[in-house]
Amino acid sequence: MSASVDDAHVRGHTPVLYQRVLHALRPGAGGRYIDGTIGAGGHSLGILEASSPDGQVLGIDLDPAALELVQDRLAEFEDRVHLRHGSYRDLAVFADELGWKTADGLLLDLGVSSMVLEDAKRGFSFRLDGPLDMRFDPTQATTAADLVNGLPEGELADLIVRYGEEPRARRVARAIVKARPLHTTHELAELITRVVKGGRRKIHPATRTFQALRIAVNDELNALVEGLEQAIDRIAPGGRIAVISFHSLEDRLVKRIYRRESADCICPPDQVVCTCDHQARLQVITKRPLRPDISELEANPRSRSARLRVAERIELA
């Protein structure tokens, strides 16, 4: 994409569940907030405006290009924004660099931005022809091509099942191995379409396999667990954690962590005497995930699968 297209995306970008996120995080003056996936900066812009005059945001992103763009977008808040290139699994390190022993809120928007999806060179989309890349951080070593062309058939099938929940994963993996080497998104998407054609599908046949490869390339689920565990340690009592997920694997992980950390005992259900010494650290605010309303769905169809779960840090007894 050209710089002008990037700029247009940033100016016109409407973040998913924007008002619900601000309502959940309750940003205020003097607060410290961590946006672990700052992307185009839409949510952070709202947090900075709501926490005027001196609220601060630590914005983290794996994509150097996103950080470059958001630095321009949030230039007026220069002394209140702290941008870091990296993963939210390292949020404690970044917070320590700023001297933040605690923060008042964390946001993780786990969606892939339209800026990334619509850049064919990034290789995320099966609708655009580009290299099999799929790295959020282009400086990391492993690409989707490495997995597609290098994994043994069994491991590739397991990956597609685990991260894509693709019922025909064995068939897809077998076809990929036979067709190697594959170099482009169109090559892979067309191959998958031939393998899984037929049946009644509401989504493109390649959706689940592309999702699986993206998650594996970026180690997304492990990063989510590590990031949330660090956030629970770092968020001050009364502060909130808000996570927007876009598929069931992410949502189940968030729900499980919230449930575990809102319980005073995590011993097995059949154990008569508690021996875990676990104390609840969270109160779940959203018993069910919040979803986009009709007006948001009409304005932004990509928000249809977004789910927001919110929890509040509580004092230990």
Q: Are residues 299 and 185 in the same domain?
A: no
Which of 218, 240, 261 marks a domain boundary?
A: 218
- Clarify whether residues 197 and 108 are in a common domain: no
DSSP letters for 90-115: GHHHHHHHHT-S-EEEEEEE-SPPHH
- CATH number of 158's domain: 1.10.150.170
Written as six digits, the tokens of 137 are: 């951080």
CA separation (Å) from 142 to 5, 31, 130, 213?
28, 37, 16, 11
CB atoms near residue 47 (< 10 Å): 28
Same domain, 110 and 11: yes
Q: Which CATH number covers residue 104?
A: 3.40.50.150
Range of the domain at 155: 123-218
Residue 308: which H helix or E strand, with range?
Answer: strand 307-313
* DSSP 8-state assignment for residue 121: G
Burial label for 72, CB within 10 Å (0-12, 13-18, 19+), is: exposed
What pLDDT, on a 0 to 100 scale, did the predictor assign at position 302? 84
Q: Which residue has 């067309």 as its token pair?
A: 190
Residues 21 and 143 placed together within one structural domain of the fold: no
Q: What is the DSSP string of 70-86?
A: HHHHTGGGGGGEEEEES
Residues 18 and 109 in one domain: yes
Residues 6+ apart with CB under 8 A from 308: 17, 20, 21, 24, 242, 243, 244, 286, 289, 290, 291
> DSSP assignment of 126-176, as one string?
SSS--BS---SSTTSS--HHHHHHHS-HHHHHHHHHHHH--TTHHHHHHHH
Residue 78 shares a structural domain with residue 144: no
**Plot region of 235 (φ>0 → left; ψ -120 to 50 → alpha; else → beta):** beta
Q: Are residues 106 and 254 in the same domain?
A: yes
SS3 88: helix
Beta strands 307-313 and 235-245, pairing class: antiparallel
The SS3 assignment for 239 reads: strand
Dist CA 60 CA 77 (whole Å): 16
Assigned token pair, 187: 């090559």
3-state secondary structure of 283: strand
Number of compact structural domains in the chain: 2
By the 10 Å C-beta count (0-12 exposed, 13-18 middle, 19+ buried), 132 is classed as buried
Backbone angles phi and psi of 45, in degrees to 5: -60, -45
Identify whether residues 143 and 99 lie together within a single domain.
no
Give the pair of three-digit tokens for residue 191. 């191959």
pLDDT along the chain (317 residues), means of 10: 36 80 98 97 97 98 95 95 97 98 98 90 95 96 98 98 96 98 97 82 90 98 98 97 96 97 91 89 96 93 94 91
Same domain, 260 and 130: no
Structural contact between residues 88 and 219, judged by C-beta atoms closer than 8 angstroms: no
153-164 helix and 207-218 helix, angle to the nearest 10 degrees: 100
Shared domain for 106 and 226, answered yes or no, is yes
Asked if 133 and 225 sit in the same domain, the reply is no
Q: Which two tokens stand for residue 262?
A: 């809102």
24 and 128 together in one domain: no
